Amino acid sequence: MDFSSVSVLCLGDVMLDRFLYGTMERISPEAPVPVLLLDSRREMPGGAGNVANNIISLGGRAILVGLVGQDEAGGVLRNALGNQARVVDATVCSPARPTICKTRFIAVHQQVVRADEESRAPLQPEEAEALCRAIDAQIDQVQAVVVSDYGKGVCSPTVLTHVFTMARARGIPVFVDPKTADYTQYRGATCITPNAKELALASGMPVGTEAQAELAARTVMAQADASAILATRSEKGMMLVRRDGPVLSVPARAREVFDVSGAGDTVIATMALGVGSGMSFEQAMRVANAAAGVVVGKLGTATADMQEVQHELEEQSGPDDIPHLLPLSAACAQAQRWQAQGLKVGFTNGCFDIIHPGHVGLLAEARAVCDRLVVALNTDASVSRLKGPTRPVNSLDARARVMAAIRYVDAVVSFDEDTPLETIRALMPDVLIKGADYKPEQVVGADIVQSNGGRLVLATLAAGHSTTATIGRIQGS
């Protein structure tokens, strides 16, 4: 998994999380309260800012839109955002309200008290207008949107309607972490991610069993006209309920839980990155479940990095959760993101029915002449038309799994036609690679790639290797 080319717009209530640490050695002579002698502090973005933290920890890019006051806490928050290379600070400065700041006083690993600074005034028209302008300025750069609603004012009906409309017009998925029990405010969302308590409150129904949770999810999904509800159910794992698909549940792996703070932010950040990168909802949910499993095993509000998530996936259920065959639309989006970063995208294709050293050599040479390599596989029907009714030996799914595991390959797609011409037109690679047994004029799509400024490379083929010969040896044995 690589989320480096995925940008997510994080809209919501941005906060400064401030932790003040000290020791308690005496009681105040002024009142019967302990005196906390401070010795250190820690400050970081919270609320929607913590979603952004999770996104960059997983390798993505976050664009943060929210309200920040003209005060000391706002300066600290913006300075913290400015120190994070993959976060774009698109917050709006409001003279009408303070920066939301949660200050936690901690002694001997125990929170003694929390002091909150915030305004409970409704969002002002000029604030809503400025937030909508910030959304408009950034939304064309992103592949997903996260709405992080903490009920502090930013997620007003005006702002929500605007971001849903803008995202829908561009085909961008919107994920909502809800606060209100009235899910009609989230009409237009793609996926809403309540925990069990929030789901019960919004639906007015029990959620203890899987059947009850599904019914409650379908109830609120209808209220919000959403495509999916992803319910997080603590030790019971997650449940994905979709309007047009089967229910899918994944269990939480048994572990020692240190702190569930921020686990919801991790889930929604991972879902946005996964779907934004081209994963299916099911694939993204499994990755999100693994990421949440990592953070609950840490103390305090924590994030997970990709190496930790990959390890957790392997511990849970192996590599099957990692996408091995992308839809063409997702592959095109990925190729465009790579090209936008200045990377050269290469393309080759074939049946690749039984992988042999000749294939590996071709792929190695192909990857050497580009920065990212996309491999297109003939579907089973296409292989049969080209090779005869006894082929392929291995199904498309099996061939794609093997191909995706080869280190030279960055993405795998399939095509059902006899040639990959339409796939090449859609992807428009920078480099087209075929074996040297072809002449330039015989290579399908070469003229298209070259007329677009790309080039054709004819790779050397290792002698003595072929799928047909391998099958012949097997049949003769």
Helix residue spans in 58-156 (DSSP H): 72-82, 125-138
For residue 152, give the DSSP letter: S
| Residue 13 annotated among the catalytic residues of the structure | no
Is 195 marked as a binding-site residue?
yes
The helix/strand/coil state of 3 is: coil
> Could you tell me which residues come within 8 angstroms of residue 224 by beta carbon, excluding any fewer than 6 positions away?
183, 184, 186, 187, 189, 192
The total number of residues written for the chain in this structure: 477
The CA distances from residue 421 to 276, 378, 381, 429, in Å, are 26, 12, 17, 12
Is 197 marked as a binding-site residue?
yes
The helix/strand/coil state of 299 is: coil
Q: Where are the beta strands (DSSP E) in 319-430?
A: 345-350, 372-378, 411-415
Is 284 marked as a binding-site residue?
no
Q: Which amino acid is at 144?
A: A
For residue 195, give the DSSP letter: B
Instruction: Please choose, from the candidates 269, 264, 275, the residue with its C-alpha nearest in 3D space to the C-alpha of residue 242.
Output: 275
Sign of CA dihedral 257, 300, 269, 279: negative
> Could you tell me which residues come within 8 angstroms of residue 220 by beta carbon, excluding any fewer than 6 positions away?
183, 192, 194, 199, 202, 203, 229
Is 79 marked as a binding-site residue?
no
The helix/strand/coil state of 80 is: helix
Catalytic residue among 265, 321, 353, 430: 265
> Could you tell me which residues come within 8 angstroms of residue 311 by beta carbon, excluding any fewer than 6 positions away?
none
Query: Binding site for ATP: what residues are annotated?
Result: 195-198
Annotated binding residues, written as ranges, equal 195-198
By annotation, the residues acting in catalysis are 265
